[in-house]
Amino acid sequence: MATEAGTALPAKTDKQPPRRRNSTRALAVVGALLLLLTAAVLSLAVGSRALSPGVVLDALFHDDGSTAASVIWDVRVPRTMAGIAAGAALGVAGALIQALTRNPLADPGLLGINAGAATGVVLSITALGITSLWASVWFAMLGAVVAGLLVYSLASGGRGGATPERLALGGAVIAAVFTGISQTLMLLDAQALDQLRFWSVGSLARADRETLTTITPFVVVGLVLALALVRPLNALALGDDGARALGAHVDRTRFLGLTAMTLLCGAATSAVGPLVFVGLAVPHIARMIVGADQRWTLPLSLLLAPALLLFADVLGRVAVRPDELDAGVVTAVVGAPVFIALVRYRRTVTA
């Protein structure tokens, strides 16, 4: 069955009774939750110093000041929580942009949010000499917000408002501009280049409690706003005219969706860097499992994305011991071929 976006929906989904289909979707969400819990446990237990699950649980509930408790509470808990927050933000942001642009292969970097966040970090280092990770998070958020506002301003000008095509084109322009600015500044300032080389790959290793405290409010607000838009996003899948016929406010939905995506991408990028693949692949995989209904796609993406990110981080810790591979490298090297295989051998569903 062909869709408006030119992709195909699995025929078996249409033949399932609604109650049975929803039960299958609920099981998928429960399975994703269990997968996330497993990834979190591994993230707490696995590292340069392996800890058994019993030791991990004892340290979590009885902080006795031991070396194991210090490793758990000072290093691994903030790192794991940052992975959960950043992964959830990227997964939902990816689902949002794919729904807003009606492009199942769009990713959060398409609208220039990641480039804006990176430029904010570069400016904080080159212009103000800021080296604190906590302080740079605020500049990354500021850059992401500025990029989001510029993209919406460009897309909403003229007749028709902020259409998916204008959002994508405006985002490409803003991303190119901010990328050019940040690259130029880094080439002119060796200190900025050295500091950003680690951050730009995408890693959880530098996440600490201050970083987590800073990004959590932005992530929570972005997730709540995104989940509140599931019904109008479903209406947008029918096209602007179809959405208006169903009573959806198209321009308001796009503006609020872009706002939520800016908060989510800005927070995640500022904390762990511009991670690739997560925001692109996870919503796509979620639609393969539960279909294109955003009431299920967004919650499943919220759970699958942090699980993927934590598994990648754990794999990076053990792959080249005693050194580590950054999570961004692992998601790109391991995840991309898997995603290509899924796209090639499975039928895609429209965003």
Between 47-51, 194-198, 313-317, the lowest mean confidence (pLDDT) is in 194-198
Among 18-32, 49-63, 140-154, 278-292, whose mean pLDDT is lowest? Answer: 49-63
Q: CA angle, corner 270, sides to 204 and 125, nearest 5? A: 110
Distances (CA, A) of 349 to 11, 89, 144, 239: 11, 22, 29, 16
Question: How far is CA 189 from its chain centroid?
Answer: 29
pLDDT band at 191 (very low <50, low <70, confident <90, very high): low
Helix, strand, coil percentages (3-state) for the chain, rounded to 5, are 75, 0, 25
Residues 1-36 have pLDDT tens digits of 444 444 444 444 445 566 667 788 889 999 999 999
Q: Is the pLDDT of residue 195 over 70?
A: no
Distance CA(120)–CA(132), nearest Å, equals 13
277-305 pLDDT, tens digit each = 888 889 988 988 998 889 999 999 999 99
Q: Which of helix, strand or coil describes residue 2?
A: strand
Which pLDDT band, with edges at 50, 70 and 90, does 92 fall under? very high
Q: For residues 159-179, give the mean pLDDT.
A: 78
Measured in residues, the chain has a length of: 351
Q: CA-to-CA distance for 138 and 132, rounded, in angstroms?
A: 11
Total-model pTM: 0.83
Indicate the helix (H) or strand (E) that contains 154.
helix 133-156
Average the pLDDT over 151-159 and give the result. Answer: 76
Positive/negative CA dihedral, 23, 25, 351, 146: positive
Helix (H, G, I), strand (E, B) or coil at 8: strand
| Token pair recorded at residue 144 | 């992401």
Q: What is the pLDDT of residue 4?
A: 44
pLDDT value at position 158?
A: 64
Instruction: For 237-262, give one letter per residue: b (16+ CB within 10 A) or e.
Output: beebeebeeeebebeebbbbbbbbbb
Nearest partner of 196 among 94, 269, 147, 265, judged by Cα: 269
**Residue 173: C-alpha distances to residues 70, 180, 348 (Å):** 46, 11, 28
Structure tokens at 273: 């860097």
In this predicted structure, the answer to whether residue 345 has a pLDDT above a threshold of 70 is no
Structure-block tokens of residue 334: 């391991």
